[in-house]
Amino acid sequence: MATDFDLSCPVPLAAHERIVLPHGGGGRLTRELLDKVFVPAFANPALDARHDSALLEAGGARLAFTTDAYVVHPRRFPGGDIGTLAVCGTVNDLAMAGARPLALSAAFVLEEGLAMDELRAVVASMRDAARACGVPLVAGDTKVVDRGKADGMFVTTSGVGIVPPGADVRPARVAPGDVALLSGDVGRHGIAVLSVRDGLAFDSPVESDCAPLAEPVAALLAGGVEVHCLRDATRGGVATVLNEMARDAGVAIEAEEATIPVSGGVAAACEILGLDPLYVACEGRMVAFVAAADAARALDILRGHEVSRGAAIIGAVAEPGAGGACGTVALRTRLGTRRLLDLLSGEQLPRIC
Amino acid sequence: MATDFDLSCPVPLAAHERIVLPHGGGGRLTRELLDKVFVPAFANPALDARHDSALLEAGGARLAFTTDAYVVHPRRFPGGDIGTLAVCGTVNDLAMAGARPLALSAAFVLEEGLAMDELRAVVASMRDAARACGVPLVAGDTKVVDRGKADGMFVTTSGVGIVPPGADVRPARVAPGDVALLSGDVGRHGIAVLSVRDGLAFDSPVESDCAPLAEPVAALLAGGVEVHCLRDATRGGVATVLNEMARDAGVAIEAEEATIPVSGGVAAACEILGLDPLYVACEGRMVAFVAAADAARALDILRGHEVSRGAAIIGAVAEPGAGGACGTVALRTRLGTRRLLDLLSGEQLPRIC
């Protein structure tokens, strides 16, 4: 329906004199904040590459370096807690650059009054997740703010990884003909958090997909798959990731809705809540763009790992002139129609990670 | 005076069922949190070294890696803001490992309603400080939390640096006979923040000492000074740093009160406020432990850099059997008496960085 005022067109950043929740949602306003505030100030090749990790050279080694703040609410959800999330999220950002995680750091902002037992439990989750990934946590910091000046606990993890020789995984490598694989069913993290946040009881309880992706990534690279780019489908879900890739690589992406795995529990919850599962956050799912010739082998390798057992081929990068404009994602729906899969202005679910 | 209940002995952590402000103060309770919660969970050689930065090996390069959360209140103070602090603090932690800063990351937790102009101003401060240090900011993240769930803005910076060949700067290298140098007058950062926080107007306005120390450190190392350990005197001030060094290195340190530079403005403010300047935070001051034979040269080199122009020799590591117990710091006061310079339980000034 045409309207005089297009609700899908957000107010430009200049009109936002104050920070609003969608600035942190991973959608259009997050991108605008990045484009208009952060990138102009800090412009440099590593940042401009708009990768999940920055790539650095150090004494002959190729390093990946990344950081993420975690403010998930509530802090514990089916399948994990803020600690699991903080470790897996940073390990995954390193993996998305093709890197093997070398070391993590963690900085805590704690609110006065936080139960010591809860801190201990989160630290135990971080320890377990880090052990499972085989990566040490080597540096940390703790600050405490007065009661009412934070929300219990915020955790920021950073990570350093080593990119193996031969790997060259970055948005600029995505090319026409590349096949897009998704490593498993989408939306479980977002629905898991929402279920505890709002006290919803679904027929089939949904567990977060929060998990490290470093192993399947290492296997793809070790298996000689020509991996062009990887991105984990966190804030904004798989739809947002596909959009980011289309824009950052300057290509048109075609995806097939019927091939994107969605569990029954997530589908049911999304229907009740009026959410589109393609925009719901995951924390253990990635999209991989690989050379077409390697797609079948890549799928086999992913399916050989527990965390990516449900992998599927979900689309491809269009050839130039095939119809889609550069920077866009077209979705062939289950009904056989074709629609633009756009970036959301904000987020469907605030504080999901 | 002997008391039945020694007030200098804090309640042990086990008795703290909840986080209290002093857990983030950099004093005894911070150390206890580290000793009893974080280190047991994450134990590994890099973390156990208790250095300002963790040291890592990567493809032949020696890396330093560090992280710090910044929650300073208020966010703007004479001489800088939370952005200046976040960049200088992380650059300094890298420098304290002898490393040349290679890249920084920044993660922001923003409270809904924060003025966009303030965010822009902080980002500009970070850009300026990073440029002054010649280090790029290559990775970032932004999260937004609902109004009332944070205090405007928290910034966590992490950094990666490269340790030059030959440098071996860590607590374990501190040895009897080493000379302790301080790079300038102490306490200016803490007093600057306090002056705006409490709306105090001192006769001589005090500016924060917030500044990067990477240059004088590089000069010490390039000049062939045998630098054994470096630590910046942040939370808890120079007294806390000396205590940390004494404990981490397992040595007794002797310091001379009269040699520790304190500006007139800081001395006057401390007198009014009942603070001991030796415990007030700096953000651009370090203690350097160097081989005795190199002390005079180290002093010359430090004085040749603007940021460390006020450097002084303030003490030495005692020879075994000279009196002081390992892990302690003895201060010869201006009156000629000798007293133990101990760790505070908490902090004199919360949210100073």
Q: Which of B24, B25, B103 sits opposite A46 (nearest CB)?
A: B103
Closest-CA residue of A relative to B93 is: A139
Mean pLDDT for chain A?
92
Give residue A12's pLDDT: 60
Least confident of A51-65, A166-180, A195-209, B122-136: A195-209
**Whole-number pLDDT of residue A7:** 41
pLDDT tens digit sequence for A23-71: 988 888 888 999 999 999 999 988 888 888 999 999 889 999 999 999 9
Residues of B in Cβ contact (< 8 Å) with A58: 58-59, 61, 63, 102, 160, 162
How far apart CA A12 and CA B9 sit, in angstroms, is 56
pLDDT for the residue numbered A3: 34
How far out from the chain centre does Cα A90 lie?
10
Q: How many CB pairs under 8 A join A and B?
A: 294
B66 touches chain A (CB under 8 A): yes
**pLDDT one-digit tens code per residue, A248-284:** 999 999 999 999 999 999 999 999 999 999 999 999 9
pTM of the entire predicted model: 0.94
The SS3 assignment for B120 reads helix
Nearest-CA distance from B93 to chain A in Å? 11
- Model pLDDT, residue B14: 56
Closest Cβ–Cβ partner in A19, A102, A162 for B144: A19
Q: Are residues B228 and B179 in contact, defined by beta-carbon separation less than 8 angstroms?
A: no
Question: Is the pLDDT confidence value at A8 over 60?
Answer: no
Section B235-252 average pLDDT: 94
**pLDDT at residue A201 above 80?**
no
Please report the residues numbered 151 through 170 in chain A whose beta carbons come closer than 8 angstroms to any beta carbon of chain B: 151, 154, 156, 158, 160, 162
Half-sphere exposure of B8 (CA within 13 A, CB side): 8
Per-window interface: B 12-41 vs A, CB < 8 A? 13, 16-25, 30, 33-34, 37-38, 41
Within chain B, where are the H helices?
A: 28-33, 39-42, 45-48, 82-95, 116-133, 188-197, 214-222, 237-249, 264-273, 295-303
pLDDT at A106 over 70: yes
**A113-122: average pLDDT:** 97
Facing A17 at nearest CB: one of B30, B71, B115? B115
- Give the full edge-to-edge strand order of the sheet including A54-58: A54-58, A61-70, A153-162, A100-111, A137-145
Identify all chain A residues contacting B351, using CB atoms and an 8 Å cutoff.
143, 145-146
Q: Are B93 and B109 in contact (CB under 8 A)?
A: no
Instruction: Report the pLDDT value the prediction gives residue A344, as an integer from 0 to 100.
Output: 81
Q: Out of A34, A62, A110, name the one closest to residue B24 (CB).
A: A110
Range with lowest mean pLDDT among A262-276, B252-266, B318-332: B318-332
Q: Which of A3-7, A314-318, B113-117 has the lowest mean pLDDT?
A: A3-7
Banded pLDDT at A9 (limits 50, 70, 90): very low
Distance CA B42, CA B28 (A): 20
Comparing A191-195, B70-74, B319-323, the range with the smallest average pLDDT is B319-323
Q: Which residues of B touch A152 (CB under 8 A)?
A: none
Question: Residue B7: what pLDDT?
Answer: 41
What are the structural domains, with CATH classification, of chain A?
A: 54-162 (3.30.1330.10), 171-340 (3.90.650.10)
- Tell whether B350 lies on the interface with A, counting CB pairs under 8 A: yes
* Residues B94-152 pLDDT 10s: 999 999 999 999 999 999 999 999 999 999 999 999 999 999 999 999 999 999 999 99
Which residues in chain B have their CB less than 8 angstroms from residue A12's CB? none
pLDDT greater than 60 at residue A14? no
Q: What is the pLDDT of residue B346?
A: 64
| Closest among B132, B91, B73, B83 to B108, alpha carbons compared | B83
Q: Do you find a cis peptide bond into B212, omega within 30 degrees of 0?
A: no
Percentage above 70 pLDDT, chain A: 94
Helix (H, G, I), strand (E, B) or coil at A37: helix
Nearest to B160 among A65, A142, A145 (CB): A65
Taking an 8 Å cut-off on Cβ atoms, the answer to whether A156 and B69 are in contact is yes
Contact check, Cβ <8 Å, B109/A61: no
Q: What is the ipTM of this complex?
A: 0.93
Give pLDDT, residue A347: 61
Q: In A, residues 280-319, which contact B (CB 8 Å cutoff)?
A: none
**How many whole angstroms separate alpha carbon A107 and alpha carbon B65?**
13
Q: Which spans in chain A are helix H? A: 28-33, 39-42, 45-48, 82-95, 116-133, 188-197, 214-222, 237-249, 264-273, 295-303
Distances (CA, A) of B279 to B24, B26, B169: 15, 10, 24
Q: Give residue B2's pLDDT.
A: 36
Find the helix or strand (DSSP H, E) in which B137 lies: strand B137-145
Those residues whose C-beta lies under 8 Å from the C-beta of residue A321, and which sit 6 or more positions away, are none
Task: Check residue A115 and report its DSSP letter.
Answer: B
In sequence order, which residues have a C-beta less than 8 Å from that of residue A103 and are 6 or more positions away? A135, A136, A137, A138, A139, A159, A160, B46, B54, B56, B65
Q: Do A69 and B114 touch (CB under 8 A)?
A: no
Does the structure show a pLDDT above 80 at B4? no
Q: Which residue has the tokens 């010869």?
A: B332
Give mean pLDDT, residues A91-101: 97
| Cross-chain residue pair A65–B103, CB shorter than 8 Å | yes
Quick one: A57 exposed, middle or buried, by C-beta within 10 A (0-12, 13-18, 19+)? exposed
3-class SS of residue B277: helix
Q: Report, as an integer, the average pLDDT of B13-37.
A: 86
pLDDT for position A4: 37
Reported as a single tens digit per residue, the pLDDT across B177-225 is 999 999 999 999 999 999 998 777 776 789 999 999 999 999 999 999 9
